[in-house]
Structure 1
Amino acid sequence: MKYIIIFIAFFSFISSHSQNSKNNKPNIILMMCDDLGWGDVGFNGNTIIKTPNLDKMASEGAKLNHFYSIGPVCSPTRASFLTGRHYYRMGIWSANTAHLPAQEYTIAKMLKQQGYTTGHFGKWHLGTLSKTISAKGSKRKPEVNFAPPWLRDYDDSFVTESAVCTWDPGIGPRAKNNPYYHNGIPIKDPYNENVLGDDSKVLMDRAIPFIQNAVKNNQPFVAVIWFHAPHEDIKAGPEYLKRYEGHGEAAHYYGCVNAVDDQVGRLRMELEKLGVADNTALFFTSDNGPEGKQEMKPERPIKRAGVTGGFRGRKRDVYDGGVRVPSLALWPKHIKPGTVIDVPVSVLDYLPTVKNMAGAKMPNDRPFDGQDMMPILKGKVNKHKKSIPFRYRNYACLVKGKYKLIIESREDNSKDLLYNLEADKTESNNIVGVHPKMVSKMRDEILKFLDDAQESHSGRDYNDDNFIPVSKWRTMKMAPNNNKKTSQ
């Protein structure tokens, strides 16, 4: 009997080891905050907001100093985040508009084909979650823009269409027509469904069981965790307000960022407990710069506590304060602890990076705008080969190495701006006259990109005769002569 027990135990060990050896693909966790400024975290020098868990993640992995959200508002960034393609290819011009086309090749679709289980938790903002209602402030027609994560290759999802209050997300004005949906089922009774209290904890309460179940089933997982904080409505719980006594209303902002950090720490502890921390890659960023008074369209004099770390502009600006965001990457045994990356990279790079990590393949019938940034994170490469394009309102931009070009018109170059981002953090010294040949080449490049994006927008990349563009193409208008804000 003794030998039988030993044999069974040994067989169980061998069986378990064999199953684990099959699962040699890394787990992927992609986290993003909403309206978090570059300077709102300790690892970028903030001395007020406490982010010890994110700071630890920075010390154990890579801090990406020059990381772009691509979109200066949320929905465009989120579309590019999941697809590796510029949002103009999909017709997602701004927040609360259009939806993620079903024909797009996303991180979830790609990894699902590789045997991953897929989960999305928190904000969605890439289409409506109901065919009859849409969230407050949305410009989306519910039925036309119905594009929920459960129809976009996610096995498990716990999401809202749009922003909710960062405390008690299940109630209040933001919750009207905007409940959390768990795998397509709206949570209508918040008091019985545990969607009260800190919102970051509410969504992590659903993300962690998803991860636990994946580990139990010995299945690689990808978890997309998009926090609502610190987007309005901004409210912190009593525990967090105590931590920031004496800071007035700003305490709510500081507190809800601190709450995100607590949940990142909780997540990492769970990964350690489950024994999968070493085989899990974590990425963290924000969808755009902090809310506040814009430079490029200043008619909304909003005051917010978030800071850009000295970069010019804020949310809705294509200056770096609106699009350069905090970013981290952690992959034990692959990315050297304490790595600092100054090379420009962006959310466009997530899909091609994850593709190579998981051994997946791209479809060959469409262009992708990002590139695998893992060689940069590992210190093997110190240059981003692809230029990084931007487009918002009437502004088109291109970052190429240390230079950034901003144009306002296809035909008129009199308002063009060129900045050396290494020497001019505040984008205050327009050197367009110093480098005319460079400006001409960069101008041609961004315009050719927009022409190609227009072809993608029309459905060229999908090979689907039934495809209808989700919105009408937006052309650049002639720049006004009295625009003093960008003519310095």
Structure 2
Amino acid sequence: MNGWSLFVGFLFMVGTVCADQLPDGQQEKPNIILMMCDDLGWGDVGFNGNSIIQTPQLDHLAEKGAVLTHFYSVGPVCSPTRASFLTGRHYYRMGVWTANKGHLPKEEYTLARMLKKQGYATGHFGKWHLGTLSRTVSAKGKGRRPDVNFAPPWQRDYDESFVTESAVCTWDPGLGKRAVNNPYYHNGKPVDEPPVGCDSRVIMDKAISFIRGAVNAGKPFVAVIWFHAPHEDIKAGPEYLKMYEGYGEAAHYYGCITAVDDQVGRLCSELEDLGITENTALFFCSDNGPEGGEPEDRLKTRRAGSSGPFSGRKRSMFDGGVRVPGMAVWPGRIAPGSRIDVPMSVLDYLPTVCEMTGAELLPNRELDGQNILPILLGEQAVHEKSIPFRFRQYAGLVEGTFKLIIESPTDASSDRLFDLSNDVAEQNNVVSRYPEKAQRMRRQILEFMASAQKSHRGDEYDAGDYSPVDPWQELGKPADQVKRRMKSRKSGEE
């Protein structure tokens, strides 16, 4: 072997450490870690100003990259956000109307499918909630139709998966009512021993094992880590309850978030030990705003989440239901200590990761997100695509600092336009002040809905036998019908 060959071999071996020093085109593909909490409010983390809940690991990680102060989950409940997270497409294109409705179609081009084509090891850990994990039973009963909504991650391009169908208790996840017909599945098989202790630790155990395996095999990896915390059933372990003595029932909520924080710190330490920190990009967010109404006395409830200065909570189209904590860290690329107030969302993950890894998008497949890497790198200050929203009888759009919410495809009398630059609580309807803007944004919403309806019926899929599980959901369901359903509901959607 000549001297030049030895030199190239040396670069290959140490590329994890010095990849950012290599010329463009010779850099290693970055590892990708995408983390998401469940029902974590915008105001529930230290990097967004919370002074009670201890999140030192997340705060430290945020200092190494960019805090995304105007980041949207898009869905105000769980399953919709998760569908958009993995595909870059609005969940209405897939018929995932709300929690426990529809599933992730096998025809969708996901992050895992895209990166697997690039030689990545692919792993998913924690909550799934994009279909059933059994063809015969579901945690949500027969009404979930497990025979037609079977869509597990091991059939969605993941090499490694350790998942539950839906929410479990944040402590002793293998026990209690949430665990009924809802075990952890490891690569398609229910685990033999029900997991006990801290659920976030249980999830991270498997994620770290996967990461070690990928590194030992010399493969880049993508790890999707979806924590259950702080979704109900909310229970903190003894050491975490001790940290929040004097906070009553809220100690359970605070404690399970700190437990997540500890596991994020553990993950970061593992990346350091493996020598891959500099070539690993990490993203963090929540799937929607915090559960429940604003309690008069937070110490009496475990629904103690904070939506910060925003109106609304989970299930709301107001920002408190869809604006969530967010961060992006990519050493050597994203400037440490950044705070970015440009609107972005989970819809942007797939096209951004595509750009970061040199992957390819599918032609003729409508994407609702965009590549936000120029924004994260400080090269651009505008999100070019408007961000669409849809839930129950409402549809909405964020365009720059303006947000429009409509309730009817034909009647604009109930339209509400907010200028988020000076009204983050969405208290002042400025439709009359900006009528042309409101009309143009309304047209955009209706155009998006028409496009989504075509996607829903399978127009973009190369599958002649495709048929959606549920019929298309028209805009404009009467508000009183929704209110009656909410009044009779015994327990909230996930």
Class of the TM-score when normalised by the shorter of the 2 chains: over 0.9
CA distance in 1, matches of 2:244, 2:204: 23
- TM superposition shift of 1:304: 1.4
The match for 1:90 among 70, 94, 100 is 94
- TM superposition shift of 1:308: 0.5
CA distance in 1, matches of 2:46, 2:315: 24
The match for 1:45 among 46, 49, 52 is 49
Indicate the SS of the match to 2:209: helix
**Where does residue 298 of structure 1 map in the other structure?**
none
Decide whether the 8 Å contact of 1:412 with 1:479 is kept in 2.
no
**Where does residue 490 of structure 2 map in the other structure?**
none
CA distance in 1, matches of 2:480, 2:100: 30
CA distance in 2, matches of 1:377, 1:76: 25
The one-letter amino acid of 1:351's match is L
The match for 1:73 among 70, 74, 77 is 77
Decide whether the 8 Å contact of 1:179 with 1:188 is kept in 2.
no
- TM superposition shift of 1:476: 1.5
Q: Does 1:407 align with 2:427?
A: no
CA distance in 1, matches of 2:14, 2:218: 7
- TM superposition shift of 1:58: 1.2
- TM superposition shift of 1:293: 2.4
Decide whether the 8 Å contact of 2:121 with 2:222 is kept in 1.
yes
- TM superposition shift of 1:373: 0.7
Taking the TM superposition and a 5 Å limit, the aligned residue runs for 1:186-197 are: 186-190=190-194, 195-197=195-197
Taking the TM superposition and a 5 Å limit, the aligned residue runs for 1:100-249 are: 100-136=104-140, 139-190=143-194, 195-249=195-249
**Where does residue 320 of structure 1 map in the other structure?**
319
Decide whether the 8 Å contact of 1:101 with 1:470 is kept in 2.
no
Q: How many matched pairs?
A: 466
CA distance in 2, matches of 1:160, 1:327: 24
**Where does residue 424 of structure 1 map in the other structure?**
423
**Where does residue 290 of structure 1 map in the other structure?**
290
**Where does residue 24 of structure 1 map in the other structure?**
28
Q: Does 1:310 align with 2:272?
A: no
Instruction: Give the stretch that moved more between structures: 196-205 or 129-138.
Output: 129-138
CA RMSD of the aligned region, Å? 2.1
Decide whether the 8 Å contact of 1:409 with 1:479 is kept in 2.
no
- TM superposition shift of 1:325: 0.0
**Where does residue 251 of structure 1 map in the other structure?**
251
Indicate the SS of the match to 2:440: helix
CA 1:159–1:292: 2 relative to 1, 3 Å: same
The one-letter amino acid of 1:232's match is E
User: Can you give the 5+ residue segments of structure 1 that lack an aligned partner in the other structure?
Assistant: 1-6, 295-301
CA 1:247–1:462: 2 relative to 1, 3 Å: same
**Where does residue 262 of structure 1 map in the other structure?**
262
CA 1:225–1:138: 2 relative to 1, 3 Å: farther
CA distance in 2, matches of 1:138, 1:364: 38
1:141-198 CA-partner distances (Å, limit 9, x unpaired): 11100000000000000000000000000111100000000000101432xxxx2100
CA 1:169–1:65: 2 relative to 1, 3 Å: same
- TM superposition shift of 1:471: 1.5
CA distance in 1, matches of 2:69, 2:454: 33
- TM superposition shift of 1:479: 5.1
The one-letter amino acid of 1:128's match is T
Indicate the SS of the match to 1:119: strand
1:401-420 CA-partner distances (Å, limit 9, x unpaired): 00000000011111100000
1:441-482 CA-partner distances (Å, limit 9, x unpaired): 000000010011000000001021010112110002265599
The match for 2:67 among 63, 88, 91 is 63
Indicate the SS of the match to 2:112: helix
CA 1:440–1:148: 2 relative to 1, 3 Å: same
Indicate the SS of the match to 2:254: helix
1:307-340 CA-partner distances (Å, limit 9, x unpaired): 0012000000000000000001000000000011
CA 1:77–1:138: 2 relative to 1, 3 Å: farther
1:100-152 CA-partner distances (Å, limit 9, x unpaired): 00000000000000000000000000000011110146842111000000000
CA 1:155–1:481: 2 relative to 1, 3 Å: closer
Indicate the SS of the match to 1:333: coil
Decide whether the 8 Å contact of 2:107 with 2:461 is kept in 1.
yes
- The two structures have a TM-score, normalised by structure 1, of 0.92
CA 1:140–1:271: 2 relative to 1, 3 Å: same
Q: Does 1:352 align with 2:351?
A: yes
- TM superposition shift of 1:216: 0.7
Decide whether the 8 Å contact of 1:365 with 1:462 is kept in 2.
no
Decide whether the 8 Å contact of 2:253 with 2:302 is kept in 1.
no
Decide whether the 8 Å contact of 2:102 with 2:130 is kept in 1.
yes
Indicate the SS of the match to 2:144: coil
CA distance in 1, matches of 2:280, 2:381: 25
CA distance in 2, matches of 1:163, 1:481: 29
**Where does residue 340 of structure 2 map in the other structure?**
341
The one-letter amino acid of 1:68's match is Y
The one-letter amino acid of 2:226's match is W
Q: Does 1:477 align with 2:471?
A: no
CA distance in 2, matches of 1:480, 1:289: 21
**Where does residue 331 of structure 2 map in the other structure?**
332
Q: Does 1:35 align with 2:39?
A: yes
User: Can you give the 5+ residue segments of structure 2 that lack an aligned partner in the other structure?
Assistant: 16-25, 295-300, 484-494
CA 1:99–1:20: 2 relative to 1, 3 Å: farther
Aligned residues: percent identity? 64
**Where does residue 442 of structure 2 map in the other structure?**
443
- The two structures have a TM-score, normalised by structure 2, of 0.91
CA 1:139–1:52: 2 relative to 1, 3 Å: farther
CA 1:157–1:482: 2 relative to 1, 3 Å: closer
Q: Does 1:388 align with 2:392?
A: no
- TM superposition shift of 1:366: 1.1
CA 1:166–1:478: 2 relative to 1, 3 Å: closer
Decide whether the 8 Å contact of 1:136 with 1:176 is kept in 2.
no
